[in-house]
Amino acid sequence: MKLGTAAHRIVLEEYLQTIDAGEERIARLERHMEDLLEMWERKAEVAATMGLRGFQTCGAMIIASELGDLRRFEHPRSLMGFLGLVSGEYSTGSRRRQGSITKCGNSHARWMLIEAAWTYRQAPKVSRYLTQRQEGLPREVKELSWRAQNRLSHKYRKLRALVADDKPARPLETIFVVDGHPSHRAKMVVAYVASCRGNLSYTFCRPMRPI
């Protein structure tokens, strides 16, 4: 890339060095996390979490540290409530209305789970990287990981189909801007625009004086 002035080149180099410094910092922190993981009592939990799609070392360690001992949750609903992933409810008398998630729980763990959940939009697949992370894991963990992919991917497609049915796609409207020529105001043109039922419209611009 060639820039016209020395000032522009200096600014570009400063930006590039900032990006390089940020990437080096991320790599340095990830190495520290991997070193700490070797001595952590929750290493087995982190390894099992990494056997799921969407979780690598950083995400799995965050989930393990934020959630702690999962046995303290008597039911998955209790865990979802702790994370703020349950629907909010606005009820009056016999009327019950549920809205969006409450977001009242652990925001850090919720953010990490949502980031990982984006990977389940894709079709179920055991990629090369997931295969490497699953090396040495029990068969039960691998089977659970595969069931989770199939279940969540199917649920995503099902919910997306429901949204598409509730909100049918609206054809794009085409707008023509024309001048005041008599041919543009002819009955044939007006009738054709009306037959498009809102998908085509036209407007007249003000006449301009010749320069």
Most confident range (mean pLDDT) of 76-80, 148-152, 155-159, 170-174 is 148-152
Q: Are residues 200 and 158 in the same domain?
A: no
pLDDT one-digit tens code per residue, 79-120 = 998 999 888 887 777 888 877 888 888 899 999 999 999 999
Q: Are residues 180 and 146 in the same domain?
A: no
Q: Is residue 81 part of a domain?
A: yes
The tally of domains found in the chain comes to: 2
Cα–Cα distance measured from residue 137 to residue 134, given in angstroms and rounded to the nearest whole number: 5
Q: DSSP states of 68-82 as a string?
A: --GGG-SSHHHHHHH
Q: Are residues 101 and 197 in the same domain?
A: no
Residue indicated by tokens 């039922």: 197
Tokens found for residue 136: 């040495």
CB-based contact 108:119 (threshold 8 Å): no
Q: In the prediction, which pLDDT does 169 show?
A: 56
Tokens found for residue 135: 């090396």
Q: Are residues 159 and 196 in the same domain?
A: no
Q: Are residues 154 and 86 in the same domain?
A: yes
Cα–Cα distance measured from residue 76 to residue 74, given in angstroms and rounded to the nearest whole number: 7
Name the residue range of residue 181's domain.
174-204
Q: Are residues 113 and 187 in the same domain?
A: no
pLDDT one-digit tens code per residue, 13-23 = 999 999 999 99
Residue 54 has pLDDT above 90, yes or no: yes
